[in-house]
Each structure stands twice: as structure tokens, then as C-alpha cells.
């Protein structure tokens, strides 16, 4: 229990610094911005209470906002994602319910389950983020393109990082 | 009353969600107004220092390029020195034409982005160095943006690559005015509007700042015309403009203080109030 908390605090700082110092500087043709830091919300343990998920999401978004001058846009997107998380989790529940001691990861839940879960939430987050950032109707389609391309890229990086963080990874499943 | 508490308890997650979203929206809307000093920006103590350390490391990779730029600019400035001109005896007159209008200060870029719809820079000069919101920021290559928030030691700059930035420009060869905006996408190209139909324009024409806005001095390079199209019945050109500055590579910038901006603004405000 306690070790979980420390692990997640460490993950928080690692992801925020990676996002701010590395991924914020990545760009391809102005359309692709990966936002990998949402891996933190994705990988909170199943037993985390909903209110804590919400507050952690908000704080995470606000920390990213602080470094990228987007004042509240990341916070709004993350809070929305944190709120949707419990609904997505119950929508794609495996037959024998979740093991409360586990975390949503490829290692614990298998590849197909994790990709479904991560893809839906990543899309939701990017959708809210890019539309909030522009806040203007005239650019609807170019933003949609950004949402889709960036989501694909973020998702690839998130899946890759799953293998990176736990070397034994999905080979067990 | 009991029912109210029951209701709140039953939906407490949803209510918390709404509260947090409302807070985030409040921050966004507050930030969209041009002049404010929010805390959630890259000019505060924590993020300013982290980004500063990071940029110090990153700068080593750009040293050669930066040096070259500075040397070139030094040469240019030297050519404008008093010694570079033939001395003619001039009768000194206490005339306002000879008072200084602009002061330039240098700053280092700590953080910079070109990949978002609204891009900002963070620089290492702040309130203690006399930086104030709405000062212009330029690089040796051209316009960069406008100061948005300032803290004691840092300031954030709203880049030209931002949906809220509008730069008043002029076609160098014939003096026609236009306004520059950035429509997102490629950070190397912007859009110039409001140049009238009867102005003759060719690809490659130089676009400079007009100096109308009291932010940038007149004649700072903005970019070059890439394509200028004119639909039937349009009164204004649609111009695709190639920026003279590579915004992805900024390391040093100049902050422009307009010593007379207060005077100009007060006059313009008085004129508006009269109407």
C-alpha cells in the first residue's frame, strides 16, 4: 500500500518532467504533439477512490499547465479524463471483475484490454485538450486531424513505455 | 434539508468533477484576457528555475549558431555608429526629434514552443530588470512576440505563433498596411490580411512592422511574401507569408521598451472617448 503511494508519486514527477522537457519539444509538421503524461491517470491502481482520481488528475493537469503556459487547458482535459475513467473501466470490465490489488497495465490486464482502455481515454483527453486550446469553431477540422494524429502518437508512446517501465512486461500473459 | 445532503452525497463525484472543471475554465478565461498576472504560467519561481537550468544545457548545442548571429548583428550595429558616418557640423537643437524613443534589452530564451496552437516563450528577465507586460520582443531576425506576464526574474512572451497575436505590418516597397495573424499548423508561415487590392505585390516582397501599435519599432523585419492570391471580387489580398525568424531556434531575444507608449496610448484613448 505505502510502496504504491511512493511509486505513484515518483511516477508523477518522472512523467511531468519527461513531458515538459522532452515531449513538449517534439513536433511533426505542427500536427502531432504527444501527451504521454496522462499515463499517470491511466495507471492509478483500481482501488483508487474516484474523488482521489479526480483531484490527482486536476493537479497533474495544472502542473503541466504551469510549464507550458496553457493555464487550465490541461487541467480541464485531465479532469474530464479522470472523471471518464471509472465509466470506461466499468464498461470494459472483464467477466470476473477487477482484482483490487492490481493496476491497469499490460502486465496485469493483458495487451488487448490495455490498448482499448488507453485508446478511449487518450482520445477523450486529446479531444478536450485541443478543442479547449483553440476555443474557436472555425478550425474544427484541422483540430480533429490534430486530435487523431496526436492520439495515435501518444498511444504508441504509452504502450512502448509500458514495456520500458516493467521489463518482464506482457510476456507473462 | 436531509434530502439535499443525500443528493449531494449521492452525486459527490459528479459535483467534484463540475467544481474542478469550473476552476479550470476560470483559469482559461482569465488567462485569455491580455493583461493579467496569473500564477499558473511558466514565469513563476518553480517552473522558471527548472526551465532555466534546462535551457542552459540546451544552449551549448546552439552556441556556434548564436555566436554567428551575434557577430553579424554586431557588425550591423557597428556600421550604424557615429564613427561610421562622415562628420558634418550640425547645429544642436533641443528638438523632440532627437529624443530617444526605444530602449532594447537582451534576454535569454528559457522555454519555447512552436507546436501548439497558442505558443509562448519564457525569458530570463523580469520585473527587476524593468520588463513590463505589453513590451515587444524581437530577435536579430525579426519580430517574436509581446510580453504577457512578468514575475520578479522571469517573463512569459506571447509568441507570434498564437491565435491572440496580431501584428500590424507594412509592405516595405510601397508602404501599404496589413495585419499579420497565424492560423496554426506550420510554424514557418503566417497569414497577412487587409492589404488592399490596388497594392502591387510580388512573391518575395519584404514585410516589416508598421510601428502603429506602439509595441514594435517601425521597420522590424517580419517575413517575405510567399504567395499573394486575389479572388474575383475580393478587396483584399490573401497573403501567405514566410517568417524571417525560425521560431524553433530562438535562443536570445531583445525586449523593446517604447518610452512614449504611455503618451501614445493616452492620446488614442482620449480620441476614442470623444467619439
Q: How many CB atoms lie within 10 A of CB B179?
A: 16
Is the same domain home to B115 and B239?
no
Write the DSSP symbol of residue B180: E
Q: Are B15 and A48 in contact (CB under 8 A)?
A: no
Residues B141, B181 share a domain: no
Q: Which residue has the higher pLDDT, B240 or A70?
A: B240
- Residue A52: which H helix or E strand, with range? helix A50-68
Q: How large a percentage of chain B has pLDDT more than 90?
A: 15
Q: Which of A33, A57, A75 sits opposite B115 (nearest CB)?
A: A33
Q: CA A136, CA A138: separation in Å to the nearest integer?
A: 6
Q: What is the pLDDT of residue A125?
A: 92
Q: Is residue B274 part of a domain?
A: no
Domain contains A80:
yes
Please answer whether residues A144 and A151 qualify as being in contact, where contact means their C-beta atoms are separated by less than 8 angstroms.
Answer: no
Nearest residue on chain B to A78, alpha-carbon basis:
B21
Select the more confidently predicted residue: A24 or B150: B150
Q: B183 and B125, same structural domain?
A: no
Residue A168 confidence (pLDDT): 45
Q: What is the CATH number of the domain that holds B138?
A: 2.40.10.340
pLDDT band at A173 (very low <50, low <70, confident <90, very high): very low
At A45, the pLDDT band (50, 70, 90 cuts) reads confident
Same domain, yes or no, for B234 and B142? no
Higher pLDDT, A39 or A28: A39
Q: Are residues B130 and B212 in the same domain?
A: no
Enter the DSSP assignment of B204.
T
**For the ranges A27-31, A89-93, A151-155, B149-153, which has the lowest average pLDDT?**
A27-31
pLDDT of residue B146: 92
Q: Let me know whether B155 and B230 are in one domain.
A: no
- B68 & B144 share domain: yes
Strand partners, B106: B254
Give B104 to chain A, closest Cα distance, Å.
25
Rounded to the nearest 10 degrees, the angle between the axes of helix B45-59 and helix A50-68 is 50
| Residue A60 placed within a domain | yes
Q: How far is CA B110 from CA A20, B153, B250, in A?
A: 12, 12, 10
- Residue B254 reports pLDDT greater than 90: no
**Domain boundaries, position B183:** 167-245
Of A30, A55, A27, the closest CA to residue B16 belongs to A55
Backbone dihedral angles phi then psi of residue B187, each to the nearest 5 degrees: -75, 0
Grid cell locating B185: 499548423
The answer to whether residue B143 is domain-embedded is yes
pLDDT (tens digit, 9 = 90+) per residue, B46-101? 777 777 777 777 777 778 778 777 877 876 776 666 555 555 555 555 555 556 67
Q: What's the gap in Å between the CA of A114 and the closest CA on chain B?
A: 25
Query: In percent, how much of chain A has pLDDT > 90?
Result: 18
The answer to the question of residue B271 being in a domain is no
User: Which range has the top average pLDDT, A75-89, B10-24, B248-262?
Assistant: A75-89
Which residues does chain A have within 8 Å of residue B187's beta carbon, measured at their own beta carbons?
A: 30
List pLDDT tens digits, range A53-109.
999 999 999 898 888 777 788 999 999 999 999 888 888 887 777 777 788 888 888
| Straight-line distance from the first to the last Cα atom of chain A, in angstroms, rounded to the nearest whole number | 24
Check A136 against B163: CB less than 8 A apart. yes
pLDDT attached to residue B272: 83
Q: Which residue of B has its CA nearest to A54?
A: B17
Residue A33's Cβ-count burial label (10 Å; 0-12, 13-18, 19+) is buried
Distance CA A59, CA A82 (A): 11
Domain membership flag for residue A91: no
What does the mean pLDDT of chain A come to? 83
Q: Is the pLDDT of residue B125 over 80?
A: yes
Interface membership of A140 toward B (CB under 8 Å): no
pLDDT tens-place string over residues A124-138: 999 988 888 776 666
User: Chain B partners of A124 at a C-beta cutoff of 8 Å?
Assistant: none
| Count of domains observed in chain A | 1
- Flag whether B26 is in a domain: no
- Give the pLDDT of residue B100: 66
- Flag whether residue A16 sits within 8 Å of chain B, measured between CB atoms: no
- Quick one: closest CA in A to B24, which residue? A72
What lies within 8 Å, CB to CB, of B101 at 6+ separation is B217, B258, B259, B260
**Mean pLDDT computed over every residue of chain B:** 81
State residue B158's pLDDT score. 92
Same-domain pairing of B230 and B253: no
Residue B105: C-alpha distances to residues B126, B129, B137, B263 (Å): 11, 9, 9, 21
Alpha helices in chain B (DSSP H): 2-10, 12-32, 45-59, 63-78, 261-274
Exposed e or buried b for every residue in A14-26, given b needs 16+ CB within 10 A?
ebbebbbbebbbe
Judge: A67–B54 Cβ closer than 8 Å, yes or no: no
CA separation for the pair B134, B261 (Å, rounded):
10
Tally of domains within chain B: 2
Give the per-residue pLDDT at B84: 56
Reported as a pLDDT band with limits 50, 70 and 90, residue B42 is low
Question: Which pLDDT value is given to residue A1?
Answer: 66
**Confidence at residue A169, expressed as pLDDT on a 0 to 100 scale:** 41
Greatest C-alpha distance within chain A:
49
pLDDT, one tens digit per residue, over B164-182 is: 889 999 998 888 999 999 9
Q: Parallel, antiparallel, or unpaired: how do β-strands B155-159 and B120-123 relate? A: antiparallel
Identify all chain A residues contacting B41, using CB atoms and an 8 Å cutoff: 66, 69, 71
Burial B34-47 (b: 16+ CB within 10 A, else e): eeeebebbbbbeeb
State the Cα–Cα distance between residues B256 and B252, nearest whole angstrom.
Answer: 13
Amino acid at each position: 500500500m505505502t510502496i504504491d503511494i511512493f511509486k505513484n508519486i515518483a511516477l508523477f514527477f518522472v512523467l511531468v518532467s519527461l513531458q515538459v522537457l522532452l515531449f513538449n519539444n517534439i513536433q511533426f509538421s505542427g500536427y502531432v504533439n504527444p501527451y504521454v503524461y496522462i499515463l499517470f491517470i491511466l495507471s492509478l491502481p483500481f482501488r483508487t477512490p474516484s474523488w482521489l482520481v479526480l483531484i490527482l488528475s486536476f493537479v497533474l493537469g495544472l502542473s503541466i499547465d504551469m510549464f507550458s503556459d496553457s493555464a487550465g487547458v490541461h487541467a480541464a482535459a485531465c479532469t474530464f479524463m479522470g472523471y471518464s475513467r471509472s465509466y470506461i473501466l466499468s464498461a470494459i470490465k472483464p467477466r470476473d471483475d477487477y482484482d483490487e490489488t492490481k493496476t491497469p497495465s499490460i502486465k496485469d490486464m493483458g495487451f488487448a484490454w490495455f490498448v482499448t482502455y488507453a485508446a478511449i481515454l487518450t482520445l477523450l483527453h486529446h479531444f478536450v485538450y485541443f478543442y479547449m486550446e483553440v476555443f474557436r469553431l472555425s478550425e474544427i477540422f484541422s483540430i480533429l486531424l490534430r486530435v487523431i494524429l496526436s492520439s495515435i502518437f501518444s498511444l504508441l508512446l504509452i504502450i512502448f513505455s509500458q514495456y520500458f517501465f516493467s521489463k518482464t512486461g506482457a510476456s507473462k500473459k | 434539508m436531509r434530502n439535499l445532503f443525500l443528493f449531494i452525497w449521492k452525486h459527490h463525484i459528479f459535483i467534484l468533477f463540475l467544481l474542478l472543471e469550473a476552476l479550470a475554465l476560470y483559469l482559461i478565461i482569465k488567462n485569455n484576457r491580455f493583461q493579467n498576472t496569473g500564477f499558473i504560467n511558466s514565469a513563476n519561481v518553480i517552473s522558471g528555475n527548472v526551465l532555466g537550468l534546462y535551457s542552459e544545457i540546451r544552449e551549448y548545442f546552439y552556441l556556434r549558431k548564436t555566436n554567428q548571429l551575434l557577430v553579424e548583428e554586431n557588425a550591423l550595429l557597428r556600421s550604424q555608429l557615429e564613427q561610421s558616418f562622415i562628420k558634418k557640423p550640425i547645429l544642436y537643437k533641443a528638438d523632440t526629434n532627437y529624443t530617444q524613443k526605444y530602449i532594447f534589452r537582451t534576454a535569454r530564451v528559457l522555454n519555447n514552443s512552436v507546436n501548439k496552437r497558442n505558443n509562448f516563450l519564457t525569458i530570463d528577465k523580469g520585473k527587476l530588470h524593468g520588463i513590463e507586460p505589453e513590451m515587444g520582443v524581437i530577435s536579430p531576425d525579426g519580430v517574436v512576440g509581446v510580453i504577457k506576464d512578468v514575475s520578479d526574474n522571469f517573463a512569459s512572451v506571447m509568441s507570434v505563433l498564437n491565435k491572440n497575436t496580431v501584428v500590424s505590418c507594412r509592405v516595405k516597397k510601397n508602404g501599404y498596411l496589413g495585419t499579420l495573424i497565424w492560423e496554426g499548423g506550420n510554424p514557418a508561415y503566417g497569414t497577412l490580411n487587409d492589404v488592399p487590392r490596388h497594392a502591387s505585390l510580388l512573391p518575395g516582397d519584404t514585410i516589416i512592422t508598421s510601428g502603429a501599435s506602439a509595441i514594435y519599432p517601425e521597420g522590424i523585419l517580419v517575413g517575405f511574401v510567399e504567395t499573394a492570391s486575389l479572388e474575383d471580387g475580393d478587396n483584399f489580398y490573401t497573403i501567405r507569408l514566410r517568417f524571417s525568424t525560425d521560431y524553433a531556434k530562438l535562443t536570445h531575444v531583445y525586449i523593446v521598451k517604447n518610452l512614449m507608449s504611455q503618451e501614445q496610448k493616452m492620446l488614442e484613448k482620449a480620441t476614442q472617448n470623444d467619439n
